Structure 1
Amino acid sequence: MTKIFTSLTFKNSFLNKFCLAIAFSAVFLGSCKKETPVETAFTAVSVFNASPTFSTYDVYLNESKANAAALPFGGGLNYTKIAPGSYNIKFTTSGRPESLLTKSITLLQNTYFSYFLINRSSGLDGLLLTDDLSATSTTNAFVRFINLSPDAPALDLVINGGATVTTNKLFKEASTYTSLTAGTFTFDVKDKATGNVIASLPGSVLAAGFHYTIIARGLIAPANSNEHPITAQLYKQQ
């Protein structure tokens, strides 16, 4: 009886310890298992001042000031990641709180946007564009063209001495992105009807894998010395 009792006790004790060891191992291994990170939904918006005046502006998203320094003509803010949703975007004269333009915009999840302040000071307006930055390449860059000159005719963007990038863009119209071999280019903005070059961008460097925007900005016929004549501008979207 003693041996049987001792044997059963040993077996029960061993089994209990073995089960505890398995349970402990399961808990330990579970605690060491690498957790999959949860991606937080975002949207991203950049802001650009293409209004052809010498005024400088502050920009607010839902009453929170977005810029550290005032935005001059041709000035902008790189992409800022924020929670997706609806926002009021407001522009004021630099250093003042009164709204010159306030618009409601909806920024979708996991999407990049550009917002442009456009038009003369007497009729300020905004233009929101969706930016498709999904294309990738180790050899090519990606370029789009936007006509942001209020009094310009339909415009073409061409490579000097080379191919046409996009054609027939009216005020507020944007092209899709065109893939170009990375390198240095001279871009010409031409009047669609006459073929005359109205603005040029010599020495434009495009790096592989990046997205760029070229805009026509300013005015064909400035009303006074407080308005900018038409020029073109290239910037990297980042």
Structure 2
Amino acid sequence: MKTSTTAVLKFYILLLTFSVGFLSCKKNDPDVVVKGQAKIKVINAIQTDIKQDVYVDNEKLTSMALAFGETSEYVKIPSGTRNLTFTGTNSLNTDTNLNFTPALTYSTFLVSDRNGNREIVNYEDNLSVSDMANPKIRFINLTPYFNTGINVSIQTGSPFVNALLFKEASNYFTLEAGADLKYNVVGSGNIKTILASELLPGKIYSIWFSGLTSATLQAHLIVDN
């Protein structure tokens, strides 16, 4: 009886050791792929372009083709590396592979440089709201025509976004409610305004810029939440 009890005890010890080792190996396995879903919205930011349909891994993402300045709703997609394609109504395709992290949200734009070369650029969104009394904003420069960049300031104050260049995105800022925003091409006297009444408390905005000249510089507001 004593021998049998000892054998059983040894068996359980061996089983426990094997289980701990197996779990440790599984936890540290670098080849384990974390699966889930991400969310993206897509935007046509080419001013002179025709409408665009958008596909993810050859499956249509948009219900309607997007004209310049139009934005889709957020759509869930599988995380990981995905192939995105913008297809114009003239069947001209722009595609790229992008990596999406589970549970994160993204804004994905179709842009072009001065020579008309198209590109898909992707920005991670931050949808956390810590201050319901004020709007949260970020800025993205998507016009390639200004080598000096774009400034953004609060009313007549100093710029808090300084010389933002093509395809650059600013940090997020919490804006005091009731404050107008001023923006312009660096070195230009054409000052444009985003009225405080356009920016609601508790909302998160991605504000992107287009324009062929300093006089036609335009801010596009996207409400992210």
Fold shared by both chains (TM-score > 0.5): yes
The gaps in structure 2 that reach 5 residues or longer are: 1-34
TM value normalised by structure 2: 0.75
Q: How many Å separate the matches in 1 of 2:191 and 2:83? A: 35
- Displacement after TM superposition at 1:198 (Å): 5.0
Structure 1 counterpart of 2:222, one-letter code: Y
Q: How many Å separate the matches in 1 of 2:49 and 2:76? A: 29
Other-structure match for 2:175: 180
Q: How many Å separate the matches in 1 of 2:181 and 2:110? A: 24
Give the superposed CA RMSD.
2.4
Other-structure match for 1:235: 222
> For structure 1, which segment, 114-123 or 44-53, has the greater mean C-alpha deviation from structure 2 after superposition?
114-123
Matched, 1:61 2:56: yes
- Percent identity, aligned pairs only, is 29
- Displacement after TM superposition at 1:132 (Å): 2.0
Q: How many Å separate the matches in 2 of 1:157 and 1:218? A: 15
Q: How many Å separate the matches in 2 of 1:119 and 1:195? A: 23
Whose strand proportion is higher, 1 or 2?
1
Other-structure match for 2:81: 86
TM value normalised by structure 1: 0.71
Matched, 1:190 2:184: yes
Structure 1 counterpart of 2:219, one-letter code: A
Measured against aligned partners, the alpha-carbon deviations of 1:4-42 in whole angstroms (never above 9, x if no partner) come to: xxxxxxxxxxxxxxxxxxxxxxxxxxxxxxxxxxxx942
Runs of 4+ aligned residues of structure 1 deviating over 4 Å after TM superposition are: none
Other-structure match for 1:52: 47
Distance change in 2, residues 1:178/1:76 (3 Å)? same
The gaps in structure 1 that reach 5 residues or longer are: 1-39, 223-228
Contact 1:198 1:230 in 2 (8 A): no
Q: How many Å separate the matches in 2 of 1:142 and 1:43? A: 22
- Displacement after TM superposition at 1:134 (Å): 2.4
Matched, 1:42 2:29: no
Measured against aligned partners, the alpha-carbon deviations of 1:59-112 in whole angstroms (never above 9, x if no partner) come to: 111111111221111101121122212111101113x6x452010011101111
